[in-house]
Structure 1
Amino acid sequence: MAFGSSSGTINFSLSGKAVVKLPGQNTTLDSFLVDGGLGYLNVDLNGWTTSTETINGFPYKVWTKSDTYSSALPHRITFTLKQ
């Protein structure tokens, strides 16, 4: 995927202490949804911290959930990679 283009929708599950790491320190989340049993709803990012981390010499934007999920929950994400 090229920088500056949308990822399209990606489905995955998160559980426990959830962390999302994406390349590029200025990468943006265009859509971040969770299905907690009532269908997909927006993730409340007030419950997440944002930071940057260097992995193999390249900056990553990191979102870390402040509390934990008690079980695996399906998520959908769309993002744009930005350096």
Structure 2
Amino acid sequence: MRAALKNSVRDGSKSLSDALDECEKNDVLAHIRVVDLLKSLPRIGEKRAAEIMAKYDIAANRRIRGLGRHQVAGLKEEFH
């Protein structure tokens, strides 16, 4: 289930915003690490994911469930 979500983000069939919305509704998906979801985006690697997480003050081990509303809004705005 988690891998399927990351693959759909990777191949472009789902946007990051859609993925975050889906994670809010599903407890299993809410346990995906933020860095793993970011790295599944095209052209986002370890370094750029770390920069984005630092920009929004997201800890390296944070899971989607642990994000605040401002962090979620910032990520959605970053990849609109």
TM-score, normalised relative to structure 1:
0.33
Q: Which is bigger in relative contact order (C-alpha 8 A, separation at least 6)?
A: 1
TM-score, normalised relative to structure 2:
0.33
Higher strand share: 1
Greater C-alpha radius of gyration:
1
Higher helix share: 2
